Structure 1
Amino acid sequence: MELTFFFYHRLQLALVCVSKEVDPVHQFFEYLAFVINVVCASSKRHDELQKAKTIEIKNLLELGEIKSGKGQNQVGTLRRAGDTRWGSHFKSICSLVNMFDVTQAVLKGIMDDTTRNTRAQRGDASMAYSYLKSFEFVFVLHMMERGDAKD
């Protein structure tokens, strides 16, 4: 059992290391980290994100587009990827996919609120928003998410 864990851990380290050596993958994870850092920079923004997700779930339930049940439609948060665990990178990707629309809404709110946000904060939000809207980012996001799917 210990030998299996050893090889599994080494494989995770290798995946993370190799992902940093492939430019598009490395850039993707840099952009992902930037988006998450901008949106979760303060507890207020984190609360805005969760409030927006709660409203989104409520609206989808009312429209009948999703079903309710035990453990379904939980309000999550954006997860930061760790340095050595591929699983944390994957969870970070999945959290953004799950929170994609509300993340965009929070970023738009930061960009538009000139009274509570500095020019630098609005600029960071604008850059993060442009990453989220780019074809390449969304394409890699979904490819990485689907990469763990079992057919």
Structure 2
Amino acid sequence: MGFRNRAFTLIELLITIAIIAILAAVAAFTYSTFLKPAYQTSPLNALNAAAAAEETYYADNGQYACTIEDLTGFNDGTKDNKFIINKDADSKRKFILKVDNCTATSYTLSVENNPTDSKWKAKWVISCSADMPYGACKPKQVEGSPTVLTNLF
């Protein structure tokens, strides 16, 4: 009885390596598509955060802030009343948050993009005043399709 060597052939090893490489490429692509939106901020989240910052400013100062730079977390070092969200994104995903109207007892915040194609245009506003009950200030979409955020992000 002779010994028979049992081993993998070169073809079997190459096929196994090719299959592993294909699976790794598919996994890397899938992972990158899930990771990309994680680094982009939703304009509605930023709008709600700015509204909360306005209420905090009112509680501290007895009046609402009339520029976005006066709000905690929204000062980008300029005095242009604009806070840019997703600065490094393309024009349809880059949004500008600002205080549109302001008095001592009321404010209107808006967030909008400026895309090259009008089908991607979107704008939301929040208007609040000091006499409104807590939670009554809700964002309203004033421009764009209701599904534009889903399609953008």
Normalising by the residue count of structure 2, what TM-score does the alignment of the two structures yield? 0.26
Larger radius of gyration: 2
Q: Which has the higher contact order (CA 8 A, sep 6+)?
A: 1
